[in-house]
Amino acid sequence: MPEPAGSKSSFIVEMIKSIPGDIRGAVVGAIVGGGITMFVTYVAPDEAPSTYTIPVNVNGYAVPLPGLLRNAAREETSMNYRTDPEDLAKAWVCEATSMTGESAHQLLVQYVDLYKDCFSLDEKSKTEIAIRPNTQSGVMRHDARGWFCKCNSAG
Same-domain status, 35 and 4? yes
* CA angle, 94 then 96 then 102, to 5°: 130
Is the distance from CB of 131 to CB of 83 less than 8 angstroms?
yes
Report the pLDDT value the prediction gives residue 50, as an integer from 0 to 100: 74
Strands (E) located in 68-118:
80-83, 92-93, 97-101
Examine residue 128 and state whether it is found in any structural domain, yes or no: yes
CA distances from 28 to 14, 16, 19, 21, 125 (A): 22, 20, 14, 10, 46
pLDDT of 23 over the 90 cut: no
β-partners of residue 82 are 130
DSSP state of 127: T
Q: What is the pTM of this model?
A: 0.64
β-partners of residue 96 are none
DSSP state of 57: -
pLDDT of 154 over the 60 cut: no
Residues 31-61 have pLDDT tens digits of 544 544 444 444 555 566 777 888 888 888 8
Domain that residue 58 falls in: 50-149
**Chain-wide mean pLDDT for the chain?**
79
Same-domain status, 7 and 82? no
Report the pLDDT value the prediction gives residue 66, as an integer from 0 to 100: 93
Same-domain status, 32 and 66? no
